[in-house]
């Protein structure tokens, strides 16, 4: 198994070498002649640009685009053969799509189309073979691991619960939280004295990356007292960055966060949550911006009409804003068209609307009821998406006061904070409301586990259909189904 540095070096240089070799082969006259003769349609696709040198600007651009698209593959993640092939082909498709897009522009350094097809065929075989040959195999369950946590007491508890040999543990000192009999002496982060006798303390969380590199770690056992804060995700992201398998004892982490359900308390299961790579973030953010901008432009003619009807219907402002829960428990201001009477919560306080249960909420105005059924009251939230406070798809943001109330009955509610809140989500299209927090949580956590750009597209498509359906019911004077 290659070390992290050697894997990165082999994957990057191997990718560039394969691209250069593919360009050289594709531009050989004999190859072009053979391919266009065997497949006459390709001869019609051949661009009329001047013959390209063996390796020129076009070849360098091709190498850059393919290499950039394959960046996620340069992380030495342990993968099975079929998974490696599938992910590699997906990234190659993204690269080819980018090169084809460049081909539509009138650039002198664009690839001839037949050359692009030949290169795609060559890389479609060569790149999967490369990554399969250098991939990291799934970790041996008996190989030494490290334990990573945010509380020494919790680390000690996990060490007692597992049978896996460990090199040591990574955890910040927390002497004011630990009984004196459990420690010899707490030292500053990165020190060498050991709070847990018999087990080496390798350093604090800030040294996790160095510990992984210095010890060639393959497996990290997570021992966090809470899994809804940045420390947990920072450790998880570091593990994925260096190809380290992140696991946890089944009794120390809820099954919704794992790939398999364990049957014994000391069984280690792999954590299913995986940070999105930068390309997925780019796609999601680009989709958010385009969707929000296009929707605001489309609804622009209605904004004045909606504002006027709100003012004529009841006294008060046109918009209202509230603090809502963001990622990792932070807050942000959300804006909506006002659909309730002014000071609607002055007497009742913060509570979930009765409309979520299909009943009539007396606080909702006549215009507000129409706005809610047509979802037009949500239009100002498109601005929150545009500036990055929200996403199009994600768990719906709740008010901090309601989050606190719900959390007392659903202890895992805060798992919804793993990602940016959204305008719609899996829970919304599945008709799970705030009156059913446990049901809503299941859908939100399922989305967190399955999140991808294409899954977002499916959810948005279903939500748009529901909006059309609700508007149709309103026009025909039907009650909500």
Q: What residue spans define the domains of the chain?
A: 4-134, 145-270, 278-475
Q: What is residue 278's predicted lDDT score, i.e. its pLDDT?
A: 62
Residue 269 β-bridge partners: 248
Residue 122 pLDDT > 60: yes
Provide the b/e sequence for 92-107 (b: ≥16 CB within 10 Å). Answer: bebbbebbeebbeeee
β-strand pairing of 391-393 with 422-424: parallel
Asked if residues 10 and 78 have their Cβ atoms less than 8 Å apart, the reply is no
| Domain boundaries 145-270, corresponding CATH code | 3.40.50
Question: Residue 193 above 50 pLDDT?
Answer: no
**Mean pLDDT across the stretch 462-468?**
90
Residue 163's CB: how many other CB atoms inside 10 A? 9
Mean pLDDT of 29-53: 57
Q: What is the pTM of this model?
A: 0.56
pLDDT bracket for residue 181 (50, 70, 90): very low
Provide the pLDDT confidence category of residue 340 given band limits of 50, 70 and 90: confident
Strands of 166-170's sheet in order across: 201-203, 166-170, 145-149, 219-223, 245-249, 268-270
Q: How confident is the model at residue 479 (pLDDT cuts 50, 70, 90)?
A: low
Out of 68-82, 238-252, 313-327, give the one with best mean pLDDT. 313-327
Q: How confident is the model at residue 332 (pLDDT cuts 50, 70, 90)?
A: confident
Per-residue model confidence (pLDDT) at position 300: 92
Which of the residue ranges 75-79, 95-99, 259-263, 284-288 would you say has the lowest mean pLDDT? Answer: 259-263
Is residue 299 very low, low, confident or very high in pLDDT (cuts 50, 70, 90)?
A: very high
What's the number of CA atoms in the CB half-sphere (13 Å) around residue 18?
24
């Amino acid at each position: 198994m290659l070390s992290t540095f050697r894997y990165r070096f082999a994957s990057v240089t191997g990718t560039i070498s394969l691209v250069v070799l593919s360009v050289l082969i594709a531009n050989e006259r004999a190859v072009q002649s053979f391919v266009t003769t065997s497949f006459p349609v390709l001869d019609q696709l051949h661009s009329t640009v001047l013959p390209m040198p063996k390796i020129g600007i076009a070849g360098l651009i091709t190498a850059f685009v393919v290499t950039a698209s394959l960046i996620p593959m340069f992380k030495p993640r342990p993968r099975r053969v079929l998974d490696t092939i599938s992910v590699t082909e997906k990234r190659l498709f993204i690269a080819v799509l980018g090169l084809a897009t460049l081909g539509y522009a009138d650039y002198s350094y664009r690839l001839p189309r037949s050359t692009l097809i030949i290169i795609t065929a060559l890389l479609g075989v060569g790149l999967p073979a490369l990554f399969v040959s250098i991939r990291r195999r799934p970790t041996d369950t008996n190989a030494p691991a490290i334990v990573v946590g945010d509380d020494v007491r919790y680390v000690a508890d996990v060490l007692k619960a597992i049978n896996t040999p460990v090199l040591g543990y990574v955890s910040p000192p927390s002497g004011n939280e630990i009984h004196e009999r459990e420690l010899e002496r707490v030292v500053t982060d990165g020190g060498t004295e050991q709070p847990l006798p018999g087990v080496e303390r390798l350093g604090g969380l800030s040294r996790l990356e160095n510990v992984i590199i210095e010890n060639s770690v393959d497996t990290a056992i997570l021992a966090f007292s809470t899994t809804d804060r940045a420390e947990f995700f920072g450790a998880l992201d570091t593990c994925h960055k260096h190809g380290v398998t992140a696991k946890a004892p089944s009794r120390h982490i809820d099954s919704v966060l794992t790939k398999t359900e364990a049957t014994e308390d000391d069984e280690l299961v792999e954590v299913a949550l995986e940070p999105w790579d930068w390309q997925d973030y780019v796609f999601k953010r680009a989709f958010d911006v385009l969707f929000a901008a296009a929707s605001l432009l489309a609804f622009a003619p209605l904004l004045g009409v909606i504002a006027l009807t709100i003012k004529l219907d009841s006294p008060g402002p046109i918009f209202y804003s509230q603090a809502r829960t963001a990622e990792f428990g932070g807050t942000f201001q959300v804006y909506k068209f006002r659909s309730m009477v002014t000071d609607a919560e002055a007497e009742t306080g913060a509570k979930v609307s009765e409309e979520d249960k299909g009943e009539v909420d007396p606080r909702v105005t006549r215009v507000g009821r129409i706005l809610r059924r047509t979802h037009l009251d949500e239009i100002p939230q498109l601005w929150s998406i545009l500036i990055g406070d929200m996403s199009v798809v994600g768990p719906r943001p709740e008010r901090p006061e309601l989050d606190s109330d719900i959390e007392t009955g659903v202890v895992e509610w805060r798992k919804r904070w793993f990602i940016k809140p959204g305008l719609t989500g899996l829970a919304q299209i599945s008709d799970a409301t705030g009156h059913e927090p446990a049901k809503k949580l299941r859908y939100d956590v399922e989305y967190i586990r399955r999140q991808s750009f294409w899954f977002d597209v499916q959810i948005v498509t279903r939500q748009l259909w529901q909006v059309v359906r609700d508007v149709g019911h309103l026009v025909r004077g039907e009650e909500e189904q």
